[in-house]
Structure 1
Amino acid sequence: MLTRIFNWWHSYSRSTRKRWYIGIVYGLLASAFIFSIYNAFFAVHPTCSDGVKNGAELDVDCGGTCSQLCLFQRVQKIRILEKAAIPTRPDYYDLYTVIQNPNPTSGIEDLRYTFEVFDGTGASVAKRSGRTFLLPNAEKYIVEPAVKLEEPPAQVNITFQPISWRDLTNYIQPEVFARNKEIHSTPSLEQSGMELTGLVNNKSDIDFQDIVITVIVREQFSDEVVAVNRTDMQTLRASEERRFVVNWPFTFSASSPQIEVQAETNVFDNDNFIRESGITVSDPFFSGQ
């Protein structure tokens, strides 16, 4: 094959081959010139302000060759303040953690977590997973009740799946809080227990579909956690105050109980904002994305 090409090429005169050489060189130079003109004046190059993740960027218009850091590079990590297993009934424990978001303008719409319990040998004996949300600059209680364990746990860990932070510029904290908290025993013929009552107040201008109520009861003088629990409240109107009740099907002792109640609402979920008379409420607590 190469021999045939060689013979074909040399079948032309020397002057013809020279003209071919010159034509090829000029063709290459012309192509290079046209490409440089296109690249300089017509080609679209990645920039750090084009609203597209391209080039060496780690996210849209940030990271890599851009001077602007991406949100996941700027945020501080979630802080785990407490985590433990609280004995309830024989062979059952309630798992809880207190975490903190130190970022004033960044939150997590879908926070997926896993509690893992270990025995004295370091072996994993139980796991419990769930999902929640985390508001900016917030301390959050997470409770997973009634985990069956054959022996007292030696260690409790909590881990999080890869986190997608959301930048919440001009975020406004919803004004939902609990007050008038009282705890007492509820003796009955079948089973004694404990009951916590209180009031949840919505001082925001928005009606909410769901309120999450999480409770931690401590012994005031030792700060030891003696009980945890959670419940949900459906529909809390603007400026409304409603009574809530949390029950435990067992008793616990606290000579001077310190009751911590966290009432939260998910501002990431548009379905959580009640719509009336055809009016749509969307993201009323923040404007940033």
Structure 2
Amino acid sequence: MASWARQRRFAYGLIVIGAVALAAGIPIFKAMYKPPSCFDGVKDGDETGVDCGGSCRRLCPGAFMAPIVPWTRMSETAPGLYNVAAYIINPNTGVEAQGVPYKMILYDAKGIPVAEADGSVTLPPGRNTLAFQAAVNAGKNPPIMAMFQFTAAPEWFAAPDALSALSVTDKRYSDSQSGSSLSVFLKNNGPEPMRGITVYAVLYDKDGNVADFSKTILDYIPAGGSVTAPFTWPESHAGRVVSIEVLPVAQ
């Protein structure tokens, strides 16, 4: 009988100890437990890599194609001052990279660098864009070539096309001896206003070569509304322009 009583007291003791341990352990567990996230530096949850893939917006290496830069050009706007642009193709649909750093270098006829410009560019999903630098000062050594390079690898994130509701309705180009100008007419076909739109324009000759380029910024496009993006160049293109490409980007 005494043995049975001791066993019962022992069992009760274990129950009490277990209850106390559980009561103390739950808050400690809650305090120490960190649910899987896309920013914890650990491959967890449904991630296919460390903090990438799965439900994370950031894509893992190998899940995207690298951007393509088919050309870099410069255009003199005043003595010693040049606008410089690199055309960038983002072959990834539904994927963007924001604030990708780059460097542009201008070289003279001897291959000596005469000017550099650093900047960053957003690569919108499924769209082409320009990395653009205005009024790069090359001094007294006229450059003959421009080079472009990314200074860090783009970080890609899943993203919708913010300008899917924006359309170009008309383009009107004029050329004269004193200069040239372009008016691009855009319409916001969506139910929400658009803000902070950068619009690039690229002029091409009959052979598909770049004749010139420029950019303008639109602060606001109302829902269902239309706006005009103006562009001007200080010199005539002498009838060389036969086609125009418009590249809008949401900033």
- TM-score, scaled relative to structure 2: 0.71
Q: Pick from 132, 135, 159: which aligns with 2:150?
A: 159
Q: Pick from 154, 165, 175: which aligns with 2:165?
A: 175
- Asked whether the 8 Å contact 2:101–2:151 carries over to 1, the reply is yes
Q: How far apart, in 1, do the equivalents of 2:181 and 2:104 lie?
A: 26
Moved over 6 A (4+): 66-70
RMSD across aligned C-alpha pairs, in angstroms? 3.4
User: What is the CA deviation profile of residues 23-77 of structure 1, one whole-angstrom value per residue up to 9, with x for unaligned ones?
Assistant: xxxxxxxxxxxxxxxxxxx9xxx9xx9336356x49994437x997972412221
1:53-72 equivalences in 2 (<5 Å): 53=40, 57=43, 61-63=47-49, 71-72=59-60
- Is 1:96 matched up with 2:82? no
- Asked whether the 8 Å contact 1:217–1:260 carries over to 2, the reply is yes
Q: Pick from 97, 109, 133: which aligns with 2:122?
A: 133
Greater per-residue strand proportion: 2
Q: Pick from 109, 119, 140: which aligns with 2:108?
A: 119
Q: Pick from 227, 241, 245: which aligns with 2:226?
A: 241
Q: How far apart, in 2, do the equivalents of 1:101 and 1:58 lie?
A: 29
Aligned letter for 1:53?
Answer: D
Q: How far apart, in 2, do the equivalents of 1:215 and 1:58 lie?
A: 44
Residues matched between the structures, number? 216
Q: Pick from 121, 129, 133: which aligns with 1:144?
A: 133
- Asked whether the 8 Å contact 1:54–1:60 carries over to 2, the reply is no
- Is 1:214 matched up with 2:200? yes
Q: Pick from 65, 68, 91: which aligns with 1:76?
A: 65
Match of 1:262 in 2: 247
Match of 2:183 in 1: 197
User: Secondary structure in 1 aligned to 2:207?
Assistant: coil
Whichever of the two has the greater Rg, that structure is 1
Q: How far apart, in 1, do the equivalents of 2:70 and 2:45 lie?
A: 31
Q: How far apart, in 1, do the equivalents of 2:122 and 2:212 lie?
A: 23
- The verdict on how the C-alpha distance between 1:80 and 1:256 changes in structure 2, with shifts beyond 3 A counting, is closer
Structure 2 runs not aligned, ≥5 long = 1-28
- Asked whether the 8 Å contact 1:117–1:126 carries over to 2, the reply is yes
- Among all aligned residue pairs of Structure 1 and Structure 2, give the percentage whose two residues are the same amino acid: 17
Per the TM alignment, residue 228 of structure 1 is displaced from its structure 2 partner at its CA by 0.8
Per the TM alignment, residue 210 of structure 1 is displaced from its structure 2 partner at its CA by 1.7
Q: How far apart, in 2, do the equivalents of 1:183 and 1:67 lie?
A: 45
User: What is the CA deviation profile of residues 107-135 of structure 1, one whole-angstrom value per residue up to 9, with x for unaligned ones?
Assistant: 11322322122234433221112233221
Structure 1 runs not aligned, ≥5 long = 1-41, 267-289
